[in-house]
Structure 1
Amino acid sequence: MGKSFKFKKKQHVSTRLNVLFFAVFILFSALILRLGVVQIVEGQEFVKELEKTSNTTARIDAPRGLMYDRLGNVVVDNELELSVTYTNPSRTTSTDAMISIAHELEKLITVETDRITERDKRDYLLIGMTEDQRYELVSREERNELDHTSEEYQLEVERVPDEAIEALSEQDLRVLAIYREMSRGYANSPQRIKRGITEEEAHLLSENLYRLPGIDILRDSRRSYVYGNSFRSLFGSTGPIPREKVDYYLSRGYDRSDLVGTSFLELQYEDVLRGQKAIVENITQSSGGQTVESYVNERLGQRGNDLVLSLDMELQQRLEEIIDEEMKKAGNSFILDRSAYAVFMDPRTGDILSMAGFNDPVGVSYDNYADHIGNVTKSFEMGSSVKAASVLTGFQTGVTHPGNSFNDRPIRLPSTPEKKSVRNYGWLNDLRALEVSSNVYMFEIAMRMAGCYYPNNCNWTNNSVEGAYNEIRYYFSQFGLGSDTGIDLPSSSSGLTGGTSIYGNLLDIMIGQYDTYTTLQLAQYISTIANDGVRMQPRLVTEIREPISSPEGQGAVVQKFEPSVLNRVDMSDEYISRVQQGLRNVMTSGTASSRFANKTYQPAGKTGTAQVSVAVGEGDNRRLIDGNTQTLVGYAPYKNPEIAFAIVVPNVKLERNGGRQGMAQEIASQALDAYFEMKEVRIGPTKADRPVLEQPDYN
């Protein structure tokens, strides 16, 4: 019975499969039959219907989102303008046709010729040569020896006569400038030839578009900076999609001709600031050569979302003014470039309230000396301003404790220059060491970490010194010194780290004379101490908001960024409190007391003066000039910090050589005064007489 039952079951399954296969065969046959009817029998009718219908789609750019400061002031706006574009219908369009269009366009618009390169001129002249003329540039024998057509062309370019280049007229150059932009575009994608055309140019173009194939007028917008160059560089720039990122942007729905953020906040928040394009679809149906029906489908565009920054534009302007004035007073105080950098931030949230930089390079004349990005891209030896981290490192590693004293006297190590403080302070504890900025106290910490108890028991080895280096850098990095700050920018420097082999430099790292840090890292370090050892992520953007058409107010919140904790330093509250007291002593009775002792907002901080040697001159006149980098870090009020800061003034001449001393302290003093005054009375930031308009780089 069992075998008979199994046999019947197999037969039943086989029958079902045959039925299924037959049904599938019938369905495929019906599908093939239908496709044949559509293609062969009805195909001509569908082709005729398609020929009667034309569909043209235009994508109109929408402005980018605005940027506001923390108090609702628009700091980055858009200015509407018109651009003239060229759309190449295919890559097979002849260069002669494009140059012909360029000649006609040159009569209608004015263009700049300063971007034209020597290579552009040579390429342009080659295009205008006949084949025989080009063959005269390179002999037949030379062509036979070359492996590739590209090598032939390169040789032709090099052989273009210099006199032909010099003979190019101003009109030729204008035509070339237009053709240069036309040829840079992609097939079927509008390429901007000129932005911001005048009303007269727009009228002339409109009247002549019928005889300029591929030329069109595009509604466009340009970034406008309401407060001139204040914070300008950190807002970032926009420009054409970089060639190496074309595939990346195309995969995200961009057109090749789109403008995108290319640096700093514009790049970091490209996805947020990007507008939604308007799409206008013109559909026309015709019959017998006559239009039967025409209609337009339009999807409205929308400005990109807006950013609310942590920036206080009024404080930013005051800080810039203070730095500018101090640089004027400095006169010839600098070894080479005049420069200064400052960061003010809220230690509780990481909000960057203001960030200003000044740089006046020797031998270069600028209308604007702002170098705000130098705060995140340039690093320096910061001197004694890092000593709070040094003392805390000593506490945490156990080589010293709150209240411990060391004898401040010269230290003489083999093969190492004498190490000492500004003067011999004798026995002092940690608080006094911070107050008077003792170098030797920090040296003692470093040596003991490496197993050297100077002078009687100094048994350090290569391994112990390397271990001490690594341990110091580990604890310093917890404050942000030598590590990524986490700021919301696409790039920033983490400073430079020296080696680990030289014993004497182990001492130097503890007084800020070896590794280098940025001004932002220095500000994050002191903010961490002010915030009881909690390191916050610095941020420039606090909210993303929907765009609104009204010039007043802001749209609904799309996303709010909460303050982000990066880490809690691996040190006890007792140790941090002890160092905070030492930083307060610096301001009341120590190295910064002359300016800060009587401030009602009760600041705490640490001064620094890093010795530098700067090479100047050329050839036989090359020489080193000694100087210093002035720094100051701090926060206020001491009991409940709400603002922390770092000031760096690099490469100042020594006082005996005419260098102005105390510049970092003066900048900090005036800026803190301004901050606390603004808590009582605000007048608002001052708008520029005329907003600064962005000049995108199309090179």
Structure 2
Amino acid sequence: MVREKRKNHIPIRLNVLFFAVFILFSVLILRLGYIQIVQGEEYEEMVNNNGEQTANVDAPRGLMFDRNGNTVVDNELELTLTYTNRPGNDEEMLEIAERLTQFLDIDEDDIDDINEREWQDYWLQTREDEADELVSDEEEAELEEDDDIYELQLERLPEEEVIDDIGEEEQETVAIWTEMMTGYNYAPHRIARGLDEETAHALSELMHELPGIDIMRDSVRAYPYGESFSTFFGSTGQITEGELDQYLGEGYERTDIVGNSQLEDEYESVLRGEKAEITTDADGNESTDPGARGNDLVLTIDMALQQEVEDVIDDNIGSASGGTFLNEPEAHVIMMEPDTGDILSMASYDNDVNLVMGQYEIGSTVKMATVLAGYESGVIGHGTVYEDTPINLPASQPVSSWQNMGAVNDIDAIRRSSNVYMSRIAMEMADYELGVDGRDWSGADQGFDMLRNHYAQFGLGTETGIDLPNEVTGTTDGYNIGNYLMLPFGQYDTYTPMQMAQFAATMANGGDRMQPTLVREILEPATGDEESGSVVRQNSPEVMNSVDNSNEDFERMQEGMRQVMQQSGSNGGTASDDFDDADYNPAGKTGTAQVSVHEVNDGYNQGMVAYAPHDDPEVAIAVIVPETSTSDEDSGLANSITRDALDAYFDLQEDGAEPEESDDEDEIYQDPDDDLG
């Protein structure tokens, strides 16, 4: 019997599945081939990029030179310790701070900078059991929120107990911990500068045990001439919270160092360098975009003269008799070129910033502006004579000169310093006539405005335009009738030394108010063997306005100023005893303003504005010595400082001496932050 063979039947659905799998594998193979052959290079680059790391390194800031090419602000390379904070790492941060005490020198100032809240925060984080006892279980259940519980703990934690509980060694940990806490999350924060190589090497070996800690190359400002003019060079530091949005919008990073005062601030965009960029690929190969140092500033300052003027001030104040000053000794000097506005020297005893921010009644130094205002308004003419006798009027303070001078004209009033003459001009401006019954002071407001508007043409009571931030304009608001007759001889409104210097320069050059400047040129960084880079910008002299007086008007006042210093005799100039032997033909005006000190009118501001030579001015000077005890015995301080400073200027023009560099490292280097180390 023949058996029938069975057929080998594969279902159709299985054939479809096999076919589908074949198609999918074919597509996959084709796709892999396309990726490898066509897009292989592109994906290889992406892989390499994923392995790349980029680090930005701060570029050094631009340098500053004085007018003679001396480097007055330099950069010194240093190593800086940074910490990058992350949320939720409180315990780790405390451990790192404790370990860093082995490497960082913490001094008493660092400890003193810790505030009460920081002491308390540290104590609560490190004494959890004691902290829990400050709040009962019932209170904790009622408050619920951790922040509310924490605030209650703070309230019940006396500062004295906290500090007493933290020993000296642990206080160093607190100082480091508080500095670490001040940084932004995910951004490196400088916590210690100026690491020596040994310390940096030791820390580098422990980096893997100190998460967030790193060492970076940095630079610190250096001042070869020590403290000379250092206030106006300004300082640098990390961006403050109030300025953060502005700087971030300009492309800065949170941890960048910026100028935060004076020239460093005013010229931040110029001095800022382009960061170096170091890129490391997946294979560890480095490529560097070197960046660039910031542009340099060539200042108008003569550092040799600056040092001489500082010595002049110190010598004169140091030799003043005991009791000369009613408060701490203070004196300010500014010297500038009349025809350009270039500041040659700015120096103070006690407080440099008062050169642009201090406000003083300047006394009789303002009298030339008063007479010129009288000419311009038409109330007096050349040679007008007034009788210098005391003035006593209703609703006004009595006015007298330092002596009854009799008949004086406009030049006499400058040479001999007549207060009465100035008040008579002011009376004419207010339409007030002596000896006429029924006259009132209704025109005083008009007189105030006329005088102040004319003073402003010299820079008195208005911005001078100096290229520094935060200049003040003095006080010129108010129409006190009782003080109206005091205004024209400098006993009411207040002005800054910078305004006095601009006034002196305007008198010297015959009426052009020049914008005072501290920066003459901006240069690109020097490269190769170049001594200096190419000029990016040159600040040309700028006339802010010309005073509304004729050349003849100015010539009369300039003659009066010459006589102040050079005409001796019984009716000679008020400064002739100090200057009549000067061989540089000076001209100037003295001033003494009575001021209230300790709520009593017992003090005097001594002042002087001057220039030389009279016939071809090279230099103008303003001096103010505030709050001296007498107008007689020691009133020569301003005169003496002016004489010595002018002598120093002309001696340097002849000898060309170089400035002396400092050998005190504490003066040379600046720490731009309040960090540790």
TM-score (norm. length: structure 2): 0.88
1:483 is aligned to 2:466: no
| Conserved 8 A contact 1:146-1:152 | yes
Among the aligned pairs, what percent are the same residue? 45
1:394 is aligned to 2:389: no
| Conserved 8 A contact 2:58-2:276 | yes
Q: Could you tell me which of 289, 294, 303 is aligned with 1:313?
A: 303
Shift of residue 128 of structure 1? Answer: 2.0
- Once the two structures are superposed, residues 319-372 of structure 1 have per-residue CA deviations (whole angstroms, 9 ceiling, x without a partner) of 00011000111132111111111000001010000011002xxxxxxxxxxx22
Amino acid at match of 2:342: D
1:324 is aligned to 2:314: yes
Partner SS, residue 510 of structure 1: helix
Counterpart in 1 of 2:17? none
Counterpart in 2 of 1:202? 200
Partner SS, residue 206 of structure 2: helix
Q: Could you tell me which of 420, 425, 429 is aligned with 2:409?
A: 429
Distance 2:174 2:53 in 1: 31
After TM superposition, list the pairs within 5 Å mapping 1:24-35 onto structure 2: none
| Conserved 8 A contact 2:234-2:265 | yes
Partner SS, residue 78 of structure 1: strand
Contiguous gaps of at least 5 residues in structure 2: 1-30, 568-572
1:377 is aligned to 2:377: no
- Once the two structures are superposed, residues 489-542 of structure 1 have per-residue CA deviations (whole angstroms, 9 ceiling, x without a partner) of 01111111252132x311101000000001110110111111111000000001
| Conserved 8 A contact 2:119-2:162 | no
1:68 is aligned to 2:58: no
Q: Could you tell me which of 210, 229, 232 is aligned with 2:230?
A: 232
After TM superposition, list the pairs within 5 Å mapping 1:100-119 onto structure 2: 100-112=95-107, 113-114=110-111, 115-119=113-117
1:472 is aligned to 2:446: no
Counterpart in 2 of 1:8? none
1:459 is aligned to 2:439: yes
Partner SS, residue 137 of structure 1: coil
Partner SS, residue 545 of structure 2: strand
Counterpart in 1 of 2:190? 192
Counterpart in 2 of 1:347? 338
Counterpart in 1 of 2:386? 406
Q: Could you tell me which of 642, 660, 667 is aligned with 1:686?
A: 660
Amino acid at match of 1:485: T
After TM superposition, list the pairs within 5 Å mapping 1:33-432 onto structure 2: 50=47, 53-88=50-85, 90=86, 92-112=87-107, 113-114=110-111, 115-130=113-128, 133-139=130-136, 150-160=147-157, 162-284=160-282, 293-332=283-322, 333-359=324-350, 371-432=351-412
Partner SS, residue 203 of structure 2: helix
Counterpart in 1 of 2:11? none
Counterpart in 2 of 1:646? 622
Distance 1:577 1:276 in 2: 52
| Conserved 8 A contact 1:65-1:275 | yes
Contiguous gaps of at least 5 residues in structure 1: 1-33, 285-292, 360-370, 616-622
Comparing 293-302 with 395-404, which one deviates more in the overlay? 293-302
Shift of residue 374 of structure 1? Answer: 1.4
| Conserved 8 A contact 2:604-2:631 | no
Partner SS, residue 357 of structure 1: strand
Partner SS, residue 56 of structure 2: strand
Cα distance, 1:48–1:101 mapped onto 2, change above 3 Å: farther
Distance 2:138 2:396 in 1: 68
- Once the two structures are superposed, residues 214-240 of structure 1 have per-residue CA deviations (whole angstroms, 9 ceiling, x without a partner) of 111111111111111111111101111
Aligned length: 626
- Once the two structures are superposed, residues 232-257 of structure 1 have per-residue CA deviations (whole angstroms, 9 ceiling, x without a partner) of 11110111101111111112221111
Shift of residue 470 of structure 1? Answer: 1.3
Distance 2:374 2:266 in 1: 39
Distance 2:119 2:530 in 1: 50
Amino acid at match of 1:682: G
- Once the two structures are superposed, residues 109-146 of structure 1 have per-residue CA deviations (whole angstroms, 9 ceiling, x without a partner) of 3233332222211111112243x654432346656787
Q: Could you tell me which of 634, 646, 657 is aligned with 1:672?
A: 646
Cα distance, 1:474–1:198 mapped onto 2, change above 3 Å: same
Q: Could you tell me which of 548, 558, 567 is aligned with 1:570?
A: 548
After TM superposition, list the pairs within 5 Å mapping 1:513-524 onto structure 2: 513-524=491-502
Q: Could you tell me which of 600, 604, 616 is aligned with 1:628?
A: 604
- Once the two structures are superposed, residues 255-277 of structure 1 have per-residue CA deviations (whole angstroms, 9 ceiling, x without a partner) of 11111101000100011111211
Distance 1:479 1:430 in 2: 19
| Conserved 8 A contact 2:396-2:484 | no
Cα distance, 1:383–1:283 mapped onto 2, change above 3 Å: same
- Once the two structures are superposed, residues 129-177 of structure 1 have per-residue CA deviations (whole angstroms, 9 ceiling, x without a partner) of 43x6544323466567879765543332232354343121222122222
| Conserved 8 A contact 2:49-2:281 | no
Shift of residue 199 of structure 1? Answer: 2.1
Shift of residue 302 of structure 1? Answer: 1.8
Shift of residue 549 of structure 1? Answer: 5.3
- Once the two structures are superposed, residues 593-616 of structure 1 have per-residue CA deviations (whole angstroms, 9 ceiling, x without a partner) of 11212322111111101112311x
Distance 1:610 1:458 in 2: 32
TM-score (norm. length: structure 1): 0.85
Shift of residue 436 of structure 1? Answer: 0.3
Cα distance, 1:445–1:145 mapped onto 2, change above 3 Å: farther
Shift of residue 46 of structure 1? Answer: 7.3
Distance 2:484 2:396 in 1: 11
Select the structure that is richer in strand. 1
Distance 1:596 1:233 in 2: 31
Counterpart in 1 of 2:566? 588
Cα distance, 1:603–1:160 mapped onto 2, change above 3 Å: same
Counterpart in 1 of 2:28? none
Counterpart in 2 of 1:16? none
1:554 is aligned to 2:526: no
| Conserved 8 A contact 1:605-1:635 | yes
Amino acid at match of 1:181: E
Amino acid at match of 2:55: A
Distance 1:55 1:84 in 2: 24
| Conserved 8 A contact 1:450-1:460 | no
| Conserved 8 A contact 1:347-1:527 | yes
Counterpart in 2 of 1:540? 518
Amino acid at match of 2:465: G
Cα distance, 1:152–1:480 mapped onto 2, change above 3 Å: farther
Shift of residue 283 of structure 1? Answer: 1.5
Shift of residue 551 of structure 1? Answer: 9.1
1:612 is aligned to 2:595: yes
Cα distance, 1:294–1:196 mapped onto 2, change above 3 Å: closer
